[in-house]
Amino acid sequence: MSKTSEAAGLWESIMNTMRADNSLGEGSFGSTFLTQLKLLTDTGSKLVFEYPRGMMIEWVQNYYLDSMTAAAARVLDGARDVEFIEQQDDADGSQPDAQAADAAEAHTAAAHAGTTAAANAPRAERSSRKRSAKRRSYVNSGLNEDFRFENFVVGPNSEFAYEVAKAVASDTAPRFNPYFIHGASGLGKTHLLHAIGNAIREKREEVCVLYVTCEDFTNAYIDAIGSRSDEKNAAIRAFRRKYREADVLLIDDVQFLSKRQKTQDEFFYTFNSLFDSGKQIVMTADCAAHEITDLDPRLSTRFEQGLTASIALPCFETRLAILRNMRSKWKSDLVGDEVLEFLASNITRSVRSLAGALTRIGSLASFSHHSPSVSEARQQVRDLLHNDRGNDRNTIEAIQKRVAEEFDIRVSDLTARRRTAQIAHPRQVAMYLARRCTQSSLQEIGAAFGGRDHGTVIHAARTIEKKIETDSRLRRCVERLADQFS
């Protein structure tokens, strides 16, 4: 059997394993996409794939790379990295399989050898080559090198957070420590975390930078304390050494500490150890530190003792700039400006949703080799439009109307300044439901209730949370209303 046939059979086995894991549905869009890939070689440590010119390999990287590597590890009884190489046509417009495999092996050998030519290449060219088609992280750092300051689109919603992040990355002695970034999901907090780490690593290779999600920190701690008795002490020491010996700790989604008292205690001592040693700490959360429920005051005060910055929802111009920046990376103009403007106008709550919508429409354009119309684009992303806007019942106004009906008051009473018990209680219920059942920020909820501040919204939500613990009648009422907006 030829090497080409062996590679094709191996790739088919990997895809069959993905199908068995339900990570690749038969006949699905992803399945059709992946069949265009050609496995060139298995070097023993790496699978090298070739993809057709014009194919948006970002789709595979974003949605299937993890499933591919997991399936490959099972089929081959060992982990493999994955690399993608764009097909290089010869003079006749084709490239023999043997030649392609030789080219892949030569490409891989050159990468491992670190040739003199590559060493002497301009820095920008080398950096571009590193980030070409392969998604990887720095060893042991957890960093994604695709997230950098130069590809973060700055708008009025993120300008302050961005500038402080750049200052943190350039400082050899921490000025803003800790640096706490908060905002809704999908707005760029994680991008800034990685950008800080990548910038520091690029300037100071000797610095130990560690990125970790709070969930991974928690799970690692649970694993350490749950070790067998004869290994427990060593596991805990290894856990603490990993996090407390970092020069820069970047920790994502610290709201995950909520209600995890033992993990909070461990993180408290980790934080103190790093801070007292002059090490930089950068954190993100989906809300301000003092808004994280059931967070030890010792932690919330420490989180806020440095500098805090928020990232708000991007405006239309920023959303459009983000989409144009993504399109320019693909070096394709198949997705027209009118489609970008349609997406920027209709997907407003998450940069991730914007990226997903553009990837989906760009894939359609790549397959069909024509520029999709706005109507075609709408059809492709209709589920994202629904999720972004939400059902009409999920709006704050709809919640106010339903609560007013429930408590036999007028909607205008909920937004008025009256504070009588007859009005204040329903207003608190409506604020609680708005926070629970919508993705609106505290500021947006407060504005919808007569221009109240975020502190009032927090107080209202906590008041209702406490009341429903002891008042079964109110609890049933609130749950019944919440079900209507879930």
**Under a CB-based contact definition with an 8 Å cutoff, are residues 67 and 61 in contact?**
no
Which DSSP string corresponds to 450-478?
A: TS--HHHHHHHHHHHHHHHHH-HHHHHHH
Q: Is 188 annotated as a binding residue?
A: yes
Is 362 assigned to a binding site?
Answer: no
Inter-helix orientation angle 351-368/337-346, to 10°: 150
Quick one: DSSP state of residue 245? T
Tell me how long the chain is: 486
9 annotated as a binding-site residue: no
- Token pair 């046509």 is at which residue? 89
- CB atoms inside a 10 Å sphere around CB 402: 17
Q: How far apart are CA 332 and CA 318, in angstroms?
A: 20
CA dihedral angle for residue 36, residue 42, residue 46, residue 50, rounded to 10 degrees: -20
Tell whether 279 is in a known binding site. no
Query: What dihedral do alpha carbons 434, 435, 440, 444 form, nearest 10°?
Result: 80
Check: CB of residue 443 under 8 Å from CB of residue 432: no
Structure tokens at 16: 């069959």
- Dihedral of the alpha carbons of 30, 31, 34, 35, in degrees to the nearest 10: -150
State the DSSP code for 144: B
443 φ, ψ (degrees, to nearest 5): -65, -40
Written as six digits, the tokens of 29 are 């869009």
Cα(176)–Cα(197) distance, integer angstroms: 15
Q: Letter for the amino acid at 148?
A: R
One-letter amino acid at 168 equals: V
* Residue 449 to residue 348: CA distance in whole angstroms: 22
Element (H, E) at 250: strand 248-252
Annotated binding site: 186, 188-190
Annotated binding site for ATP: 186, 188-190
